[in-house]
Structure 1
Amino acid sequence: MPIFTPLPNKQIHFKNKTLNLAEPKVMGVLNVTPDSFSDGGRFDTVENALRHCEEMLNYGADIIDIGGESTRPNAAIVSTDTELERVVPVISAVRQNFGNDVWLSIDTSNPAVMQAAINAGADIINDVRGLRKDGAAQVAAALDCPVIIMHSRGEPTTMNSLARYTDVISEVKSELQTAITAAKSAGVRHENIIIDMGMGFAKDHVHHQKLLANLHEFITHFDLPMLFGVSRKRFLGECLNAMSLEYLNNHTAQDRDNIGTLAHIFALQQGASIVRVHDVKPMVQAAKFWQMMSAFDR
């Protein structure tokens, strides 16, 4: 009895490039912020960002996700000018140093940053607010680039209080559909859309468990490629705390990487095409092993 299900036969295209999402893709996180929850301040200079980008690419990252605004709970609001100052020089430097074949995504909800980032060399918009900001959907449509529409509620300062659902699967599905419909109404093409359940955004521990166990429902329902990202997030920390292993007391965000790799493999097993992680090296190895076994199992 086969235990591996092939990933959906999907692709994304931009700037004469094609990314085959029928094979698992690993997105490496490059936060150029001083206050991100697990690595804030480590890569907030162009030199440090380039060094980390090179490391992730050498380890096999398929996409580098560059973000200049922390969206952790209760994160401070970042001005447009500040976000632009953080991300545009890094995108330009990455493109200059590593060539045009590298896939770059810009982690932003700001339409002005979307425009500037794509102009500077980014390929994908990764929006945790699902194109809800005024003008975001219109800019994404005009740029005609791939866009990741994530489910979330509220803002970083309010999202924890909005983690209330009667049926988290049906409600997240419905709210994602609303965001997708709005994006298409603004001119975003179906072929450019990637979905994200929004782990860590307006969900509690039980909600995360249910979503991770039922990702396949979303892929079947939407017929769109999925990005899944739970790297180093609170949910994983709660899982570690529940294991009653003394050495996990007072663990760090980095200590969540092993269980995070396993969670992302669960997502691949259900059909997620892209996994977004901080620790690229073990994730690439795990994804390639999964792909090997998947091919053998058919």
Structure 2
Amino acid sequence: MKILLPGKRFLEAGARPLLAGILNLSPDSFSGDGGGDWPGRAERLVSAGADMLDVGAESTRPGSSGIPCEKEIELLVPAIRRLRLHFGPDAVISADTKKASAAEAALQAGADIINDVSGLGDPGMAETVARYGAGLVLMHSRGTPETMQNGENLRYENVTDDVSAFFEMRLKEAERAGIRREAVMLDPGIGFAKTAEQNLTLIRAADVFRARFGLPLYYGVSRKSFIGTLTGVEDPAMRDPGTLGVLLYLAGKGAEILRVHDVAGARAALKMMEILEKE
């Protein structure tokens, strides 16, 4: 499955999932891996086999209050420029932002994809992505990081059908703005306005989303709180073993892109899965 990028480039998802290495610029990252020596972390992610880097400057963990757009741009733009210069024109860089102004600045700086955790919540986002011919990760969420785990945002008639209805609505909006369908990836939004059980349902529904939409599936499960809840591991940095279990399940379901902190561990686990499945 090919994903359209700017400049008539393509990102190709084949037999194994692509790995998006998480590069947090914000010191407020829930897993404690933000800020600091981000260039060194970027180098390690790429050396470990990341197929793309997902660069974020604003924490979206539950309860976080966000940062002003100007501050987000101030962090994002120099980082993306430096990554593009260092890793070259073929590197795939996504900017994790929900603000159209920050997305535009990131795309001007050299980003290929906008990873929008609000699913086009900013009225200007779709037009911005279309104008640059960028890729788009369309994620389901409700509310804001401060409110998304509150009662009303956790109520669904049927979580798989409700997320599907959201995708249908936003895909029409993206199409009206001029975003090509081949540029879109769908993210069910694990951990965003979901209970642990709802997260599990959406992970199990990967094949349902593929059958309904025929688009690449993008899952961000790495070190998420539902893994801690279900395994009893409170420290996010210690949730990589639980994360690997979910990643392998999603690989078996055919998910095209997995967003991870531990690229080396994910790559090794997927390699062994591939070897074992050969007859």
The answer on 1:196 being equivalent to 2:187 is yes
Conserved 8 A contact 2:56-2:95: yes
Which position in structure 2 is the counterpart of 1:95?
84
Q: 1:289 maps to which residue?
A: 272
Greater Cα shift, 57-66 or 176-185 = 176-185
Q: CA deviation at 1:259?
A: 1.0
Cα 1:43–1:293 shift into 2, 3 Å: same
- Percent of residue pairs identical: 35
Equivalent residues, number: 276
RMSD: 1.4
1:270 aligns with 2:253: yes
Q: CA deviation at 1:100?
A: 1.5
Alignment pair present for 1:149 and 2:138: yes
Matched position secondary structure for 1:276: strand
1:180 is aligned to 171
Q: Does the Cα contact within 8 Å between 1:132 and 1:179 map onto a contact in 2? A: no
The DSSP-based 3-state class of the residue aligned with 2:149 is helix
In the alignment, what sits opposite 1:60?
A: 49
Q: Report how far residue 150 of structure 1 moved.
A: 0.4
Deviations, residues 197-231 of structure 1 (Å, cap 9, x unaligned): 00000000111121111211001100000111111
Give the corresponding residue for 1:18: 10
The answer as to whether partners of 1:128 and 1:198 remain within 8 angstroms in 2 is: yes
Equivalent in 231, 235, 243 of residue 226 of structure 2: 235
1:27 lines up with 2:10 in the alignment? no
Unpaired runs of 5+ in structure 1?
1-8, 242-247
Q: Which residue of 2 aligns with 1:116?
A: 105
1:129 aligns with 2:112: no
Residues 6 and 132, structure 2, Cα contact 8 Å, conserved in 1: no
Code of the residue aligned with 1:153 in structure 2: it is: R
Deviation at 1:14, TM superposition (A): 2.9
State the distance in 1 between where 2:223 and 2:113 align: 23
> In the TM superposition, what is the alpha-carbon distance from 1:12 to its structure 2 partner?
3.1
Q: Are 1:219 and 2:202 counterparts?
A: no
Deviation track 1:224-248 (CA, whole Å, cap 9, x = no partner) reads 001111111111001112xxxxxx5
Structure 1 residue 291, shift from structure 2 partner: 3.5
What are the Cα deviations for residues 92-125 of structure 1, in whole angstroms up to 9, with x where unaligned?
Answer: 1111112112110000011111111111111111
**Secondary structure of the structure 1 residue equivalent to 2:230:** helix
Q: Quick check: 1:12–1:21 contact (8 Å CA) kept in 2?
A: no
**Structure-2 residue corresponding to 1:81:** 70
Task: Give the secondary-structure state (helix, strand or coil) at the position aligned to 1:15.
Answer: helix
Letter in 1 for 2:71: T
From 3, 26, 30, the equivalent of 1:37 is: 30
Contact 2:97 2:115 in 1 (8 A): yes
TM-score, normalised to structure 1, is 0.89
